[in-house]
Amino acid sequence: MEIDAAARLFFLIFAGAAAVQDLRNLSISLRTFLIFGFLGAVLCICRRSLEPGALLQGFLPGLTLLVLSRLSGGSLGTGDALYFLTAAFYLELWQLFLLFAGGLLLCSGAALCMLAAGSLRGRDMRRKRIPFVVCLLPPALLLCLT
């Protein structure tokens, strides 16, 4: 199996495991991030020569989300930021942005559906939480399968 195919496979396993955990618990185990982060780092080293600039650029989306998570008092989950930091080992910067944009699009659609359903039932849905990592799974599949 070639290194790029292995990286895509392990990223999909990571994306699936994180989505299941986020859906069940609204959190993701730190162990998941450590295992797949380490595996991603090894594959990153094997796959290409490490260019510090490119690697740092890949971490920018995750670091930005981490700062926003801290500034928002946790409204944006730390797990979401750690997801993008881990994904940086597997994906290029442009793929991370597509992943984020696709996740935002799906999450926004889910939020609108929840608000509409709640409105029809006369329920207040403003405090409901949406597991964002679950919304990242379809774009992750598309990125890895194309």
Taking only the tens place, the pLDDT of each residue in 115-145 is: 888 888 888 777 788 889 999 999 999 998 8
79 sits in which H/E element: helix 78-87
Dihedral sign, Cα of residue 87, residue 58, residue 46, residue 39 = negative
pTM: 0.90
Q: Are 91 and 58 in contact (CB under 8 A)?
A: yes
pLDDT of the residue at 121: 85
